[in-house]
Amino acid sequence: MLFFQNYTTYLALVFLASSLAGCKCSAVSLGCADYEMDTPYTATPIFTGPGTEDMALDTSQGYPRLIVSCDERRGKRPPSGSFYAINLQTRDTLRLAFDQDPSTLFPNDEKLSDWHPHGIALARLGGTDYLYSVTHRGKKRGQGYRSDEILRFRIGADTLFYDTLYRDKALKTPNDIFVLSDGSFYVSNILKKSSMWQFIRGAFGAKTGNIVYYHPENGWKAPLSKQAYPNGIFVDEAAQHLYMMHGACQEANRYTLSAPGQIAPGSKTTAPQKIAMGDNLTRDSQGYLWATSHPCLFKFLKHSKGKGPAPSLAYRIDPQTMEAELVYQNNGEEISAASTALWHDGKLYLSQVFDNFVLEIDWTP
């Protein structure tokens, strides 16, 4: 998500965009429903670094843990983010070290010495476990970032070992990433450019985002273009299906892959339920997909400035029928702006865009 210093200016631009948009879908609503759970449950925060935007289940060390992508996204941002590991057996947390700090990857360009991790993915390739991270650098006031890339690290017990950097003009506003078993990967670009005006247009349904695909031997291409704020992505390699959260159109979509990096024409299937500004996608051991939702855009933007809570929703999606079940809802007092939902061993874990913890919820279907 992109954020604004002047909320009044934002509102004025929103209404201007509304009069100009002419789009078929929009995630903007002037009202906001009341989101409360109607059944009792137990929830426990597990504290890490700020802005736990994405997380993934890691079993490389012989036990289940979450690797969490953290970055401060409010006010004056520090020069770097971090990755935390949460032991799911003990709830112990560990800030992972680096063998080579990402700030040193561009020694001749001080404007790229900062780094801000975003969406992540884990992959085991040739017997080695890797962490892939969307990373942003060098934020320019009101104009987005000077550079966006994908960083790949080898995963150790308490250290991440720098391995590869992927840079290309295809990475315009990268958000989420999914890595396949051959080392190729898909990335969602939410907009064509990182700016306030582009965010407003995207929220009203302007289809300026896309999904890009990278293959180590064949390079980059864009199999899915003209999307309105595409966000979370997941690929089922066995079924050859690509799933995507189509944020501004309030959809969860499934596409058939006719070849690597190629969408079969006419293969789109959409969940019957609306999911406003759907965020990251994960899959559990039973095969269900999980996604979060930001249903109240204005409250999300106010929360981005530390001015009140923002609602959080979490859905479980049947990949066969695309039916989406609302599993968790909260007005924001318990967790605001939840960005990733991950279910493991009878517990639902929720991360969030701004604050410094992952929420563990006892939930059994």
Per-residue pLDDT tens for 110-141? 889 999 999 999 999 999 999 999 999 987 76
Of the given ranges (31-40, 157-166, 266-275, 341-350), which has the lowest mean pLDDT? 31-40
Architecture, CATH, for domain 7-362: 6 Propeller (2.120)
What is the percent of the chain where pLDDT is above 70? 92
Residue 334 is predicted with a pLDDT of 97
**pLDDT of res. 363:** 86
* 265-306 pLDDT, tens digit each: 999 999 999 999 999 999 999 999 999 999 998 899 899 999
Domain boundaries, the chain: 7-362
Over range 105-109, report the average pLDDT. 91
Give the model's confidence band at 364: pLDDT under 50 very low, under 70 low, under 90 confident, else very high: confident
Res. 250: pLDDT tops 50:
yes
Average pLDDT over residues 255-259: 97
Q: What is the 3-state secondary structure (H, E, C) of the chain?
A: CCCCCCHHHHHHHHHHHHHHCCCCCCCCCCCCCCCCCCCCCCEEEEECCCCEEEEEEECCCCCCEEEEEECCCCCCCCCECEEEEEECCCCCEEECEECCCHHHCCCCCHHHCCEEEEEEEEEEECCEEEEEEEEEEEEECCCEEEEEEEEEEEECCCEEEEEEEECCCCCCCEEEEEECCCCCEEEEECCCCCCHHHHHHHHCCCCCEEEEEEECCCEEEEEEEEECCEEEEEEECCCCEEEEEECCCCEEEEEEEEECCEECCCCCEECCCCCCCEEEEEECCCCCEEEEECCCHHHHHHHHCCCCCCCEEEEEECCCCCCEEEEEEECCCCCCCEEEEEEECCEEEEEECCCCEEEEEECCC
More confident residue, 30 or 18: 30
pLDDT level of residue 153 (50, 70, 90 thresholds) = very high
pTM, whole model, 2 decimals?
Answer: 0.93
Task: Report pLDDT digits (tens) over 85-106.
Answer: 999 999 999 999 999 999 999 9
